[in-house]
Amino acid sequence: MRLHRINHLVLVPEDDVHRGMLQVVKDYVTWGEIDRETLVMLLKYRAQLKGHRPLDREALSSLGYSSYEELADAILAGKKLTDLEHWCRCSG
């Protein structure tokens, strides 16, 4: 699940595979659905591209999005983060 350190955040899709993984680690982690406002804030302040570069407006436009809100809407609509060109990770 890529939880490499304490207070690490990972976005995972809501499916049977990940639900099963969460049940295995339920005594060690906490989880829940993310809302749009929190996701926008996460993208704005914590998301990183390859090379630990921040996800700034220039990077957003190179990914094909005009705002953090537009990217958050795409993610909430089911677009996988791995589908985004140059995406590396969101750290929490």
Q: pLDDT (tens digit, 0 to 9) for every residue of the chain, 92 residues total?
A: 777 788 888 888 888 999 999 999 999 888 899 999 999 999 999 888 878 888 889 888 888 899 999 999 999 998 876 666 545 454 44
> What pTM, to 2 d.p., does this model score?
0.76
Best CATH choice for the domain 34-90 from the list 1.10.15.30, 3.30.499.10, 3.40.190.10, 2.160.10.10: 1.10.15.30
CB proximity list for 8: less than 8 A, separation 6 or greater: 2, 91, 92
Report yes or no: 63 and 86 within 8 Å, Cβ to Cβ: yes
Q: Where are the domains of the chain?
A: 34-90
CA dist 21 and 14 (Å) reads 11
Average pLDDT of the chain, as a whole number: 83
Alpha helices in the chain (DSSP H): 16-24, 36-45, 57-63, 68-76
